[in-house]
Structure 1
């Protein structure tokens, strides 16, 4: 049984969440509700990006890169709004606990988009031959 690439990225995202939550609990930081709300929103954005990129790949395969760049800008805008709304700066070391997971999710999304673009290029070159 072959696992799809988007499944691997989703599993890696949830492993990051589990590891971060384990570290959070061992450090006794508190603010668990803020942590959970942040990760719910980050998960929603991550799943949205992966889903929209997959849909764009099927409809407009040549525009996956442009769609990804637009989604990253949209995601950054929403994250800035949510960070102010959740008052994340009240959490000790909030930059470590909230910016690093955002960047890891961004790396996973980027790797997924690159894989989709590379697969599309391979399929186009095989059609030409």
Structure 2
């Protein structure tokens, strides 16, 4: 317990003094550590791609899909709401499903609004 207090006080003192940000390092290799895993020095080449805007009518359910560029695979994804009617109370579309495969992503939305709203799916891809 004493070592934790000393380390916390030392880090607080360094940050207060403007010494910069302390980075935890592996005692054996000196590599940066994040949580309980070593952090790779080379970042993976990820690319986020947005699909076409899909209009979802008031009170309806809609689907938006997007595919990864050729030669890449999906690692995750999601969707974003897009207000289409100026001045309307927007943001009342709710994602009810969000899933992907090896090469793309699909989002299903329920529009509970009284006006049409838009949805765009996005996928995060990387080179295998």
Q: TM-score range by the shorter chain?
A: under 0.3
TM-score (structure 1 length as normaliser): 0.27
Indicate the structure whose relative CO is greater, using CA pairs within 8 Å and at least 6 residues apart: 1
Greater fraction of residues in helix? 1
Q: Counting strand residues as a fraction of each chain, which structure ranks higher?
A: 2
Larger Rg: 2
Q: TM-score, normalised by structure 2?
A: 0.27
